[in-house]
Structure 1
C-alpha cells in the first residue's frame, strides 16, 4: 500500500477516534473483518461488530486497517432484513 493511502487511512482512523458519537465500527482491510477477527467478507451484514475501543486497538497494530463507523439504526435495520430473508429458508 502506498504512503498516500496509508496517510488517508490514518486520518480517517484519527477522525473516528475523536468522534464521540461513534461507539461501534466495522474493521476493513479491503474487505470487512468477520466476527472475532476471523476471515473477511464483502458484506456488512456478515461483518464483525467491534466497539470503537476494540477497533482502535486493532488498527494501532496494523496501519492498513480502516475503521468504518457504524450507524446503529441502519446496521440493525440491515440485520433484521437479513434475518427476515433467512427465515424464509428454515426447514421445519
Structure 2
C-alpha cells in the first residue's frame, strides 16, 4: 500500500509540474524561438546586400580577428610562465 501511495503521489506531482511548466514557461520558449528567427532573418537580409568581394573581406577580417585572439592568449600564457618562472618542458633545450 505504501508503494502504491508513493506512485500515485508521483503521478499527481508530475501532472501538476507539467501543467505549471506548460502554463508559465512556454512563453519563454516562444520568445527565444521568436528572437532566434528574427535574428536569422536580419542576418539573411544583410547577407543579401553584400557582394562576393565584401563577403570575402568579411571572412578575412573574421579569420584575422580569430588568429589575433589566439596570439593574445598565447602571449598571456607566456607572460604567466615568465611571471611564475615555470616554463613548460617543451621550452627547455
TM-score band by shorter chain is under 0.3
Q: TM-score, normalised by structure 2?
A: 0.27
Rg (Cα) greater in structure: 2
Structure with higher RCO (Cα < 8 A, 6+ apart): 1
Higher strand share: 1
